[in-house]
Amino acid sequence: MADIVSPEVRSRMMAGIRSKDTKPEMVLRRGLHRLGFRYRLHDRKLPGKPDLVFPKYNAAIFVNGCFWHGHDCPLFKWPKTREAFWRAKIEANRQRDDAALAELTGSDWRVLTVWECAFKGSARIGTLAAISSTARWLRSDRKVAEVRGGNGDDGTAGLA
């Protein structure tokens, strides 16, 4: 299937997509700050440059877009054009995610991944639930977890 916009328009659209300060990240940051959590942003000293770092809790949080990280949720669909390019790109992102997770946990950091689908889409759990799940994880002693959307029937909604 051919793209519905010109290559120039598509290039401009893709260039406008942020890797930092995304809407889900900003919503989570504001909510956690309101609850009294203090953090550092995008710490270059840590593997994967986590979006939020909580030294007091020895915790790092990644806020991932479902498309860019190939999440298994309703928001992710494989593109129909340039399939080989997108498969290679998304698979490389997944491998980097896995490597950063392994390095962080190997250094006794706790790691949480908050997925975009927790905030939007048909399976969203909602802003308040995502923030409270994240706060609950920060106060816990769990090493690795994720906050994601889901229908709740299979236990995948919220903190998993």
Predicted TM-score (pTM) of the model is: 0.85
* Model confidence band, residue 155 (pLDDT cutoffs 50, 70, 90): very low
Instruction: Say if 2 falls within a structural domain.
Output: no
Number of domains in the chain: 1
Instruction: Say if 12 falls within a structural domain.
Output: no
How many Cβ atoms are within 10 Å of 95's Cβ, its own excluded? 10
The whole domain housing 43 covers: 19-159
Instruction: Say if 10 falls within a structural domain.
Output: no
For 50-92, the pLDDT digits (tens) are 999 999 999 999 999 999 999 999 999 998 888 999 999 999 9
In single-letter form, the type of residue at position 93 comes to: N
Q: How wide is the angle at C-alpha 115 spanned by C-alphas 4 and 135, nearest 5°?
A: 150
